[in-house]
Structure 1
Amino acid sequence: MATLPNPLPDLASSGLDLPPGSLVDGTLDGPWHEPLLWYADGPAAPRDWTALRTAGRRLGLLPVLVTGGARDQWPDAWDLHPGGTSYPGDHDADEVLAGYWTDYAHEEVDSNGSDGSDGSSSDDSKAGSGDEDGRGSWPGLAPAPAAESGEDPDEAAAGLVGVITADPDSWLGGARMALVPARRSADIPASIGWSGPMNHENDVARLCAVLRSWEDRYDARVVVLGFDTMIVSVGRPPTTPEEARALAAEHYAFCPDNIDQSPPYDLEVYAQKRLLDQEVWSFWWD
């Protein structure tokens, strides 16, 4: 992956006021030639995100919360794979999602005869044509929501972090602050060679191309990473059922497990319950 100069090797002399923590350079292929991220030894406080974002940004570092999850797997045990990660800017979000849609939705489409194999014609011009769960041919990227964002997207991300870190007994209780060398939030997974979606995509930069597109259209920010989980804040969510349905196709292509292995197991209901007016998106890959 093409990168800018990495400030992490000089973190100790950077002037940042950091809590005790560790640099991570361990990967699937052995130690990397430079640190991939820094993360704290203890739980984050609500004020840490804003403070580190302001101070770290001038150095080319962005914050993200990291969680060990139920298996207590922290970043030094994440099987990071920077050597197999390309550059997000080399990929087109529409092409990436169209490929996933073809790979992961075709069984449902074919089994319902949406390709016309049963002799009937099908309208493949939009999501929702072709089968009972709305999985016809790839409908293309959804347009940006018509409603303008009501809050600065970075402030929205900070607000979500405040909620997460204020409740130590929640399922994300104990999440820790991390700093990653990246210029935009969408690139954070690629910057560390995150392998959370490995069973879905070996090169996370392709997913980051989609995250970049969501940054542009939905004011999305990557807020939490776990071993195989991601949580995104959304400053400009869909506000109509039509907008939510259009976006649901992208979510299915991006992370099929969100629908196929998670209740309600239905794309239409997912759009209504998980996307419409929702300012937080969560993903997990089996």
Structure 2
Amino acid sequence: MTADLSRLLAALPPDMLPPGRPVSPEGGGPPGYWLSDESVTDLGLWARLRARHRESGLWPLLLTGLASDETRPWVAGEVWPAGMSAPDRHDPAQVLAAWWRDSTTTGEDDDPDAPGQATAPFGRTWPGLAAPGEPDEPADDCADGYAEFLVAGSTRLGLVPAARSADTLAVTGWSGPANHVGDAGQLSAVLRSWEERFGVRVVGVGFDTLQLSVAAPPTSIEHARRVAAEHFAFCPDNVWQGAGSLQAYAEQVVGAPSWWFWWD
């Protein structure tokens, strides 16, 4: 799943990166990503590295840690790449449908009526994948702009040997949504589909948060409801502990150039 990280890093111009180091998983195994020693302040560095991805094989990420312990997960290597499957083993439609069934079987706080209420108008019936969006701008340009927005005082730079942004979660062995799904390969499979349908790029990853740029978001409430259904399957907490209903959440994603996910 991964290329030799040291070889790929060595091919970059020597003055391109700030001080940093490859990070090995705490459970053992070769390093799955490179991490800057300090937070990044150069607003354009992410975009420059993203522009070299096709030749470098390294996808940049903006990485943040747990508020109570910023070493987790990225500095500490609290990741498990060996336990993640390859994204191409999974059909994203089937993965989302299974998550939808699991999340609508019982509601938040085990209220049997909560799923149907929260996911109206679909109730417990999986509506299937949403249609693709129409891009407002090239997906990589959208990602560059979002990365500049996300750079903050506690944001480190990561580089992941991945062929596409969606695969970075599986390659690093990220376990942020462990209470919802334990296999980042399934997450990456869905993200591949979102890359293709909505011009999504993975830009920021935290302890249990995920930040995506979106070049082709839904522009109508009808389309947004279908997208919201996928988001609910992917991350139910965005609805249960956020908007409160699929309809309210859909209103938030109409025309939104970025998507943010958080797992409890």
The answer to whether TM tops 0.5 is yes
Match for residue 269 of structure 1?
Answer: 248
Q: Which residue of 2 aligns with 1:105?
A: 104
Q: Which residue of 2 aligns with 1:142?
A: 130
Cα-to-partner distance string for 1:182-214 (whole Å, 9 max, x where unaligned): 011110100111111111111111011110110
Say whether 1:46 aligns with 2:40.
no
Amino acid at match of 1:256: P
For 1:285, the equivalent position in structure 2 comes to 263
- The 1:113–1:56 alpha-carbon spacing in structure 2 relative to 1, beyond 3 Å, is closer
- Which residue number corresponds to residue 15 of structure 1? 13
Q: Which moved more, 1:94-103 or 1:66-75?
A: 66-75
Give the equivalent residue in structure 2 for 1:117. Answer: none
Counterpart secondary structure, 2:124: coil
Match of 1:61 among 58, 61, 67: 58
Tell me, yes or no, if the aligned pair for 2:18 and 2:36 is still in contact at 8 Å. Answer: yes
Contact 1:63 1:179 in 2 (8 A): yes
Unaligned 5+ residue runs, structure 2? none
SS state of the match for residue 132, structure 2? coil
Task: Indicate the structure (1 or 2) with the bigger Cα radius of gyration.
Answer: 1
Please list, as runs of the form range in 1=range in 2, the aligned pairs for 1:178-197 lying within 5 A after superposition.
178-197=158-177
How many Å separate the matches in 2 of 1:92 and 1:139?
Answer: 16
Alignment-mate amino acid for residue 95 of structure 2? V
Partner residue, 2:94? 95
- Equivalent residue for 2:142? 156
Q: What's the CA shift string for 1:248-284, capped at 9, x where partnerless?
A: 111011001111122x3111101102x1111111111
- Which sits farther off after the overlay, 4-13 or 195-204? 4-13
Unaligned runs of 5+ in 1: 115-129
Q: What is the rounded CA distance, in whole Å, between the counterparts of 2:12 and 2:44 in structure 1?
A: 20
Alpha-carbon distance between aligned partners in 1 of 2:111 and 2:125, rounded to the nearest angstrom: 10
2: distance between equivalents of 1:132 and 1:183?
37
What is the letter of the counterpart of residue 48 of structure 2? A
Contact 1:8 1:37 in 2 (8 A): no
Alignment of 1:236-275 (within 5 A): 236-262=216-242, 264-273=243-252, 275=253
Structure 2 contact 21–34 (Cα < 8 Å) conserved: yes
- What is the CA-CA distance between 1:41 and the residue it aligns to? 1.5
Structure 2: how far apart are the matches of 1:59 and 1:190? 19
Instruction: Let me know the Cα RMSD of the aligned residues.
Output: 2.1
Q: Deviations for 1:40-94, whole angstroms, at most 9, x for unmatched residues?
A: 1122211111222233431211111101242213403352011110100110011
Cα distance in 1, alignment partners of residues 223 and 25 from structure 2: 41
One-letter amino acid matched to 1:40? S
For residue 199 of structure 1, give the secondary structure of its aligned residue in structure 2: coil
Provide Cα deviations, 1:126-146, integer angstroms capped at 9, x if missing partner. xxxx5464132111111112x
Deviates more, 1:53-62 or 1:220-229: 53-62
Q: Deviations over 1:118-177 (max 9, x none)?
A: xxxxxxxxxxxx5464132111111112xx312111110110111122xx4xxxx32121
The alignment of Structure 1 onto Structure 2 pairs a total of residues equal to 256
Partner of 2:214: 234
1:58 is paired with a residue whose SS is: helix
User: Taking structure 2 as the reference length, what is the TM-score of the superposition?
Assistant: 0.90
Matched with 1:82 is 81
**What is the distance in 1 between the residues matched to 2:25 and 2:250?**
38
Tell me the TM-score normalised to structure 1 length.
Answer: 0.83
